[in-house]
Amino acid sequence: MSYLKSVIDYVTKRQQHPLVDLAESKRAVEDAWGLGEADRGPLPAASSTYDWTQWRKKLQRVLDGLPATEPEWEPMMTEARALGFGEAAIHNVQIEEFTLLIRRVVADCVLTADEQTKLESARRLLSIPADEAERIAQGVLREASAFFGQPLRDES
């Protein structure tokens, strides 16, 4: 089952039949994402919600501060591994935060040279291939153009 079909089925079942076995639907979505047992929960069993939340805030702060915060990258990733966060969970949150970073950058409909440097530093640190970053950026830009009713201005 494709990822999108799993998500649509999950949402549809939940809307139409609130008493449907949500665990089974959730498992289908996780299977479609290719998540292993260690990555299935919202966070690894050995980790606390507090640790996950704090680490995610740190990730956001480091990405927002790039390129100046680049030296903090390796210690932050070491911390994630020490806390037992699964690679898939880390990767998923990195993609989410990269997408949110792009949204924050384009919120004023202006893209400066500093913001371009920040985005490229984030892409490189997150090991996101250029074509995937382009796909993510184009999606965000379509959303922003539709929302603001105007294209992004490049002031680099």
The 3-state DSSP class for residue 35 equals coil
pLDDT in tens, 69-80: 999 999 999 999
pLDDT of residue 143: 82
Residue 24 reports pLDDT greater than 70: no
Is 17's pLDDT higher than 70?
A: no
pLDDT given at position 44: 53
Say what the pLDDT of residue 28 is.
Answer: 63
Question: First vs last Cα of the chain: how many Å apart?
Answer: 44
Q: What are the Cα distances from residue 35, in Å, to 87, 89, 98?
A: 10, 9, 20
Beta strands in the chain (DSSP E): 110-112, 153-155
Of 34-43, 70-79, 85-94, 129-138, give the range with the top mean pLDDT: 70-79
Rounded to whole angstroms, the Cα distance separating 41 from 27 reads 10
Distances (CA, A) of 116 to 93, 110, 119, 144, 154: 21, 11, 5, 17, 10
Q: Report the sign of the C-alpha dihedral through residues 63, 93, 8, 132, in that order.
A: positive
